A = this chain, B = another copy of it.
Amino acid sequence: MTTQNKIKVAQFGLGPIGLEALKLAASKPWADIVGGVDIAPEKIGRDLAELTGLPALAGRKVYPDIEALLAAARPDVVLHTSVSKFAAAAAQIEPIVQHGISVVSSSEELLCPAFRDAHLAARLDSLCQRHNARVLGTGVNPGFVMDVLPVVMTGVSRSVSRVSAQRVVNATTRRGPLQRKIGSGWTPAEFERRFAEGSAGHAGLKDSVALIAHCLGWKLDNITETGRAMVADHDITTPHVQVKKGQCCGLHQVGVATMNGRSVIELDLKMYLDAPDPHDAIQIEGEPPLRVRIEGGVAGDHATVAAVVNAVPRVLAARPGLRVMTDIAAPCLA
């Protein structure tokens, strides 16, 4: 494959996930990394070879915005891994799309963006179509185990009456920021207060519910979400946090959708320290009934980066517009 045939890739957001995405993309024979964008002053101007430890990226720089990047290189696609909220993501993505450049994002609220803001989604879709660009939100959760995979299972269903999924993540084996984000060491009341005000908890559970409903054509009454602290029943020490018995050691978050007064979607997520039996499970009630289990579960961080990078060729092959995972080609390693 010559450099001319390769997909030119830039990375927007050079935090831990962005750097991992960049490194994975750089390992693909189809990708040619052309540069990065980050607003952090200490990153601007630095060389991607230095930031990633990959000598092959020498000469590719970090720019403060997309215009500065475009003065040096023209990507076909931008990997966007900087923010969770749709409005914030759209503000960063619109200037990229205006140049006819497609975007694959890990923004949780881009999974099913019309659910978050139908008006903004229509505007971004229209911008994409005008400039022949595609925008997609993906990841592992949201983006795969509790939404796309259940939807894919219904491909062999004659009828579906209810979809449920459970995900249990042992946070002890995960990175420090995640161990802190789930409230490790807080009081249970502190976690629940912060969850209620939106400053703690897993982002994207409602988006997973919304994507399932969108795909099945279900007009929901509403989607509710609860978040409780998991309480440590023993002292726990990891390289990153210390938790005493009785303190919060993680979260138990549940998203439920009702239709005609009946619960039709229920997604149950537990992420906590020393969680036994980590796994993902899906049940499709209908004909035939389906019960799926992923032993050990799908590891979040590494797999999220994989989902973003793997989506690139499929996004570029899709029709222009704001796309969701279930209207581009079936997921696949790229």
Is A155 in contact with B307, judged by CB distance below 8 angstroms?
A: yes
Known: A329-B327, A331-B330. A310 touches B157 (CB 8 A): yes
Q: Does A326 contact B (CB under 8 A)?
A: yes
Is A101 among interface residues, defined by CB-CB distance under 8 A?
A: no
A294-320 interface with B by 8 A CB criterion: 294-296, 298-299, 302-303, 305-307, 310-311, 317
A333 contacts which of B24, B140, B154, B303 (Cβ < 8 Å)? B154
B292 with A292: CB separation less than 8 A: yes
Interface footprint category on A:
35 or more
A305 & B154 in contact (Cβ 8 Å cutoff): no
A249: interface (CB < 8 Å): no
Contact check: which of B24, B216, B291, B310 meets A155 at CB < 8 Å? B310
Bound: A326/B330 CA distance, A: 5
Task: Quote the shortest CB–CB distance from A262 to chain B (angstroms).
Answer: 18
Bound Cα distance from A290 to B160, whole angstroms: 26
> A192-216 CB contact bits vs B (8 Å, 1 = yes)?
0000000000000000000000011
Asked if B156 contacts A307 (CB within 8 A), the reply is: yes
**CB-CB < 8 A to A71: which residues of B?**
none
Which of A157, A303, A311 has the most chain B CB atoms closer than 10 A to its own CB?
Answer: A157
With A149-B152, A154-B331, A157-B306 known, 6 other A-B pairs at CB within 8 A are A24-B158, A154-B333, A157-B333, A216-B332, A292-B293, A292-B294
Residues on A close to B: CB < 8 A? 24, 140, 144-145, 148-149, 151-160, 215-216, 287-296, 298-299, 302-303, 305-307, 310-311, 317, 325-333
